Amino acid sequence: MTAGDVTFAGGFAVLPRLAAMPDFSLETLQLVVVPAFSIALISSLEMLLAQRVVDDTGVPGKTDPDASIAAMAGGNAISAALGGFGGCGLIPQTLLNSQAGGQKRLSAAAYAIAMASFVVFAAPLVGEVPLAALAGVMITVGAATVQWVPTASAIKDIFELKRLPAAAALLTATAVCFEMPAWQQRGL
């Protein structure tokens, strides 16, 4: 089973176009202000965490959080004006980039250009890749980004009740995950 032609159409038709300006009525603004600020906060935190990971991995030089936030805000504004959607620096991609030797802005630009090229030119080929193979790639990438020793140590501390707040959070998250299907069936 593959993702199919519709999912990975590709070509220049998938590129964003200049978007029509939205309705800026008070009702619309009230509707979008809280979700917009929430997404902006989460995106900023994700990017700052990605920077922290890079700084902790020993890549020469330190990142500038203020410049990164400004660049993300500007890039997201341009993307929105062209009909696209926002983004931020993600920890797994940032970690893989630094582990592969990417240390300068050129490596991030090369990643962005490669992704755009895949979307525009190679998407139909990617659509022919079996979903099981794509899932295998995701699992491999995930396994490569986990810091196994600190994770095992944290799990051991949770089970030894050295980290009681973490144990409570883990128990709550597990309960929610297992109860979610039941809530959905009841329409909650």
Task: Please tell me the predicted confidence (pLDDT) of residue 8.
Answer: 62
Q: d(Cα 145, Cα 165) in Å, to the nearest integer?
A: 25
Dump pLDDT digits (tens) for 5-15: 555 666 666 66
Task: Please tell me the predicted confidence (pLDDT) of residue 175.
Answer: 77
Task: Please tell me the predicted confidence (pLDDT) of residue 12.
Answer: 66
- CA 105-106-112 angle, to 5 degrees, is 95
Dump pLDDT digits (tens) for 19-73: 666 677 888 878 888 888 888 888 888 888 888 877 777 666 677 888 888 888 8
Task: Please tell me the predicted confidence (pLDDT) of residue 147.
Answer: 74
Q: d(Cα 137, Cα 115) in Å, to the nearest integer?
A: 16
Task: Please tell me the predicted confidence (pLDDT) of residue 117.
Answer: 83
Using alpha carbons, select from 39, 157, 34, 143 the residue that is nearest to residue 99. 143
Q: What is the DSSP string of 27-45?
A: HHHHHHHHHHHHHHHHHHH
Task: Please tell me the predicted confidence (pLDDT) of residue 182.
Answer: 65
Using alpha carbons, select from 57, 37, 38, 148 the residue that is nearest to residue 101. 57
Dump pLDDT digits (tens) for 85-144: 778 877 777 777 777 777 777 887 888 888 888 777 887 787 788 888 888 988 887 787
Does residue 173 carry a pLDDT above 70?
yes
Task: Please tell me the predicted confidence (pLDDT) of residue 184.
Answer: 62
> For residues 8 and 123, is the Cβ–Cβ distance under 8 A?
yes
User: Two tokens at 97?
Assistant: 């980039």
User: Two tokens at 46?
Assistant: 């994700």
Using alpha carbons, select from 68, 49, 66, 57 the residue that is nearest to residue 97. 57
